[in-house]
């Protein structure tokens, strides 16, 4: 089993490395972020890129999409909280967002 991280610590690591906008999910041990794109097509390109990465990692996000907005929550269910896998996927999302036309961090 993977060791869990305090969500605030995970956010501090992401922030220190240049990933803005992550916060602790209010009702569970997870980190969350809302990505805002210029339009639906950009949001869909982002989700497609992240889906391929998540499948390769065998670690999938909880997310929802409405037009140009993608809301994400990351947690490792088998570990009962945030793990290094979530940080790795968060960074993959940051990279995908930057190449997909993110409008706001």
Kindly list the distances between the CA atom of residue 88 and the CA atoms of 41, 58, 82, in Å, as whole numbers in the listed order.
25, 12, 11
pLDDT band at 2 (very low <50, low <70, confident <90, very high): confident
Query: How many CA atoms, within 13 angstroms, populate the side-chain half-sphere of residue 40?
Result: 2
pLDDT in tens, 10-36: 999 999 999 999 999 999 999 999 999
Beta pairing partners, 74: 31
**Secondary structure tally for the chain: helices H, strands E:** 3, 5
pLDDT digits (tens, 9 = 90+) for 51-99: 999 999 999 999 999 999 999 999 999 999 999 999 999 999 999 998 8
In the CATH scheme, what is the code of domain 7-104? Answer: 3.30.1360.20
Neighbouring CB atoms inside 10 A of 54's CB total 19
Give the residue extent of every domain in the chain.
7-104
């Amino acid at each position: 089993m993977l060791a869990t991280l305090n969500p605030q610590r995970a956010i501090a690591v992401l922030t220190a490395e240049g990933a803005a906008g992550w916060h602790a999910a209010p009702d569970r041990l997870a980190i969350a972020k809302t990505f805002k794109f210029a339009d639906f097509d950009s949001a869909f390109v982002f989700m497609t890129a992240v889906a391929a990465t998540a499948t390769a990692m065998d670690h999938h996000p909880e997310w929802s999409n409405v037009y140009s907005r993608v809301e994400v929550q990351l947690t490792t269910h088998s570990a009962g909280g945030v793990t290094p896998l979530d940080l790795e996927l968060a960074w993959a999302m940051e990279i995908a967002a930057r190449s997909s036309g993110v409008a706001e961090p």
